[in-house]
Amino acid sequence: MSGNTGMAGRVALVTGAAGGIGAAVIESLAREGAIVAAADRNEQVLKEQVELLVADGLRAEAFGLDITSSQDVAAVVDEVERRLGPIDYLVNGAGVLRLGTTRELTDDDWASTFAVNATGTFYVSRAVIERMAARRTGAVVTIASNAAGTPRTEMAAYAASKAAAAMFTKCLGLEAAEYGIRCNVVAPGSTDTAMLTSLWKDGAGPESSIAGTPSAYKLGIPLRKIAQPADVAAAVLFLLSDQAGHITMHDLTVDGGATLGV
């Protein structure tokens, strides 16, 4: 994406920045001229991602962050604003996946999934939105999943946590509208990341995601291809940008038609 995005010189905080989609988001933002605060608890991989951007002449800094700790979130948000300036954009990109039928899921599977995907999104959004509201400007995008609105076998914890994060973001958008802050959701489907490949069992590969799995009531992908992280990043950038200046509380699905537009 390029052109009149209005992102040059603005500060963007991105969680989950070391992951496939998160890494694509921070690169896309940096190439639009944003000053990127890249946050993740995987500090080694995060450092490597940020070093690549800096070596290319882009502006980005790494911040180790555990979004399941409200204290850590508050401290890091404060540090970002101290070092880089007021946060204009927030991308809630951190996420975890624990697979298993409901009977197989452990207490820890459920709790840890919600701690990152839902509660972590709340902690970070709360800390950032308070500052944005005082300045009466800002934009938030939460990366959820098309599973948030479509049942999936062995994904009850993930789907429920992403549904919680999506609805939280829309409620936040309603509350923040009076301050001129927009809050939207991007819902990816099958995307070429480590999270997707972890779903491929017994030698299955991309073809299994594209074709679908009738026995699990999972449709295939009408566009006949797996999304690339950059596809999702493009949707995130659009919703953050000035080009989406009148869009809020929207859920933009990026899944090649896998959920049939429902």
Burial (CB < 10 A; 0-12, 13-18, 19+), residue 157, is buried
Domains of the chain: 11-189+227-253 (3.40.50.720)
Active site residues: 158
Look at 148-152, 160-164, 200-204, 250-254 and tell me which has the smallest mean pLDDT.
200-204
* pLDDT tens string 121-138: 999 999 999 999 999 999
* pLDDT tens string 57-112: 999 999 999 999 999 999 999 999 999 999 999 999 999 999 999 999 999 999 99
Q: What is the rounded CA–CA span in Å between residue 85 and residue 78?
A: 10
Asked if pLDDT for residue 155 goes beyond 70, the answer is: yes
* pLDDT tens string 110-125: 999 999 999 999 999 9
**The predicted structure's pLDDT at residue 198:** 62
For residue 191, which of 240, 247, 146 has the smallest C-alpha distance? Answer: 146
**The predicted structure's pLDDT at residue 1:** 59
SS (H, E, C) 105-142: CCHHHHHHHHHHHHHHHHHHHHHHHHHHHHHCCEEEEE
Q: Is the dihedral of CA 108, 110, 116, 122 positive or negative?
A: negative
Asked if pLDDT for residue 210 goes beyond 80, the answer is: yes
